[in-house]
Structure formats: structure tokens, C-alpha cells
Amino acid sequence: MTTKPQQLDLFSNKSLNITYELKRCMRIAASASGLSRDQIVDQMNAIAAREGMRTSVSKAAVDNWLKDSDPGRLPSPPWLTIFCSVTGDRGSIEVMLHPLGCGVVDETGQRLLAWAEAEVERKRAAKRARLALEGLEL
């Protein structure tokens, strides 16, 4: 049994190791937020306390999340969600979804999707009505 060799595409290969891209996006979000890291940590801890989390995050932990030299240190999903809320940036979550072929849709995108689904259903109903009318005409 012979197999035909397959040429791999170097540019569309989606690695599931998102560590460095996640850290890069988090660094960009932190600097673009206009907040110092201390302010980010304070706001994250305030949200965590308000949400009933029993732990807090330190500035050292956030610094470790953001530096490439420590790839083993990543935020847990709850802390990443809080980080994104504080910085106002969803890029880090998008980085996690991209290799899986998914993306983040905001409220406008959700409305557009709802409109598109309604439009497709409207066209299907119009086609059914047209076919029913053609069946009536002899």
C-alpha cells in the first residue's frame, strides 16, 4: 500500500500551542489599557472579591503571565476573563479560539447573525410559498 505524499502549507498550519501569542496579546492589552500593572491588579482583585472568588492575584503573578521567559505561567480561565474585563480587550480569548476555527462575536455581530438567519428563513419561506403556488396553478 503506497501513500501519496502531501505538501504541507507553512502558512495555514494552526498550532494549538498558543502560549507565546496569548502572552503577547495580554502584554498589548495591558499597555493599551492605559493602566499601570498595579492598577490592573487592584481592579482584578476588586472584581474577584465582588464575584465571590476566595483568592487574589499578585502583581508578580500578572508580571509572570505577561513575560515570554516564563511559558509555564498562564492565567486560569477565570483570571483571564477578569484580565480581559479590566483591560477592555478580548484579544487573548480570541487567541485561544483561533486554532479551533472559532472567533469572538460582539453584540453587533450577534445582531447581524440573527438578521442573516431570519433572512435565510424568509427566503426559504418565500420559496416554499412559490412552489406551493405553482402546484395550485394547472
pLDDT of residue 93: 93
Secondary structure class of 44 (helix, strand, coil):
helix
Per residue in 48-85, pLDDT (tens digit) is 999 999 999 999 999 999 998 888 899 999 999 999 99
125 backbone dihedrals φ, ψ, rounded to 5°: -65, -40
Cell numbers at residue 62, please?
500578572
pLDDT of residue 29: 96
CA–CA separation, 103 vs 15, rounded Å? 16
Per residue in 83-108, pLDDT (tens digit) is 999 999 999 999 999 888 888 888 99
Residues 6+ apart with CB under 8 A from 73: 61, 64, 65
